[in-house]
Structure 1
Amino acid sequence: MAELRRYGAAVDTVFDLLGDNENDLTAALAFTLSKSSVLTDLLLQLVKLETGRDVALRLETADESGRTDLEIDLGKRLVIVEAKRGAGLPTTRQLNKYVKRVLEIGSGALVTLSAAPSIYAELAVPSELSGVPVSHIPWADVLEAISTAYPSESRDARRWLAELGRYLRKVIYLSDPASSWAYCVSVSREKPGGGGSRTYKDFVVNENIYFHPYGVGSNWPLDPPTFMAFRWNGSVHQIRRVMSSEVIPTLQARWPDIPLTEETDLPHAVYKLGPPLPMQGPLPSGANYRAVRLRVLIDQLLTQPTLKDAYMQSKVLTGQQR
Structure 2
Amino acid sequence: MATLESYGREVHSIFQLLGEKENDITLSMSWALTKCPEFLKAVVQYICGLVPDTDAITVMNQKYDADTGITDIEVTDHRTFHIIFEAKRGWLLPGEEQLTKYSVRLAASTAAVKQIATLSECTQAYAGAYLPFTVAPNGVPIRHLSYREVYQMALDSRAASNHEQKHLLAEFCDYLREVMTMQKKDSNMVYVVALGTQKPNGCDITWIDIVQKYSKYFCPAGGNGWPKEPPNYIAFRYYGQLQSIHHIEGYTVSRNMHDEIPEMPDEVWENDCYIYKLGPAIVPGKTVKTGKIFRNGRVWAMLDTLLTCDTISEARDLTQERLG
1:217, distance to aligned residue in structure 2 (A): 6.0
- Whether the aligned pair in 1 keeps the contact of 2:197 and 2:206 (CA below 8 Å) is yes
3-state secondary structure, aligned to 2:141: strand
- Whether the aligned pair in 1 keeps the contact of 2:248 and 2:276 (CA below 8 Å) is no
CA distance in 2, matches of 1:174, 1:266: 17
* Partner amino acid, structure 1, of 2:256: T
1:188, distance to aligned residue in structure 2 (A): 1.3
Q: How does 1:103-142 map to 2 (within 5 A)?
A: 103-105=107-109, 108-128=114-134, 129-130=136-137, 131-142=139-150
Tell me the equivalent position of 2:208.
201
Tell me the equivalent position of 1:191.
199
| Unpaired runs of at least 5, structure 1 | none
Q: TM-score, normalised by structure 1?
A: 0.80
CA distance in 2, matches of 1:46, 1:285: 55
Aligned residue-pair number = 316
1:144, distance to aligned residue in structure 2 (A): 1.2
1:286 to 283, 289, 292: 292
CA distance in 2, matches of 1:286, 1:219: 18
- Whether the aligned pair in 2 keeps the contact of 1:88 and 1:115 (CA below 8 Å) is yes
CA RMSD, 1 decimal: 3.4
Tell me the equivalent position of 1:26.
26
* Partner amino acid, structure 1, of 2:210: F
1:144 to 142, 146, 152: 152
- Whether the aligned pair in 2 keeps the contact of 1:119 and 1:247 (CA below 8 Å) is no
- Whether the aligned pair in 2 keeps the contact of 1:300 and 1:310 (CA below 8 Å) is yes
* Partner amino acid, structure 2, of 1:241: H
Tell me the equivalent position of 1:78.
82
Tell me the equivalent position of 2:244.
238
CA distance in 1, matches of 2:241, 2:180: 35
Against the structure 1 CA distance between its residues 249 and 45, is the aligned structure 2 distance closer, same or farther, given a 3 Å change threshold? farther
1:67 to 53, 70, 74: 70
1:300 to 270, 291, 305: 305
Q: Which moved more, 1:21-30 or 1:86-95?
A: 86-95
- Whether the aligned pair in 1 keeps the contact of 2:44 and 2:52 (CA below 8 Å) is no
Tell me the equivalent position of 1:317.
322
| Unpaired runs of at least 5, structure 2 | none
3-state secondary structure, aligned to 1:291: coil
3-state secondary structure, aligned to 1:132: coil
| 2:106 is the alignment partner of 1:102 | yes
- Whether the aligned pair in 1 keeps the contact of 2:255 and 2:268 (CA below 8 Å) is no
Q: How does 1:148-163 map to 2 (within 5 A)?
A: 148-163=156-171
Q: TM-score, normalised by structure 2?
A: 0.80
Percent same amino acid among aligned pairs? 28
| 2:275 is the alignment partner of 1:275 | no
Tell me the equivalent position of 1:251.
257
* Partner amino acid, structure 2, of 1:28: S
- Whether the aligned pair in 2 keeps the contact of 1:99 and 1:132 (CA below 8 Å) is yes
1:71, distance to aligned residue in structure 2 (A): 0.6
* Partner amino acid, structure 2, of 1:237: Q
CA distance in 2, matches of 1:160, 1:177: 23
Against the structure 1 CA distance between its residues 67 and 226, is the aligned structure 2 distance closer, same or farther, given a 3 Å change threshold? same
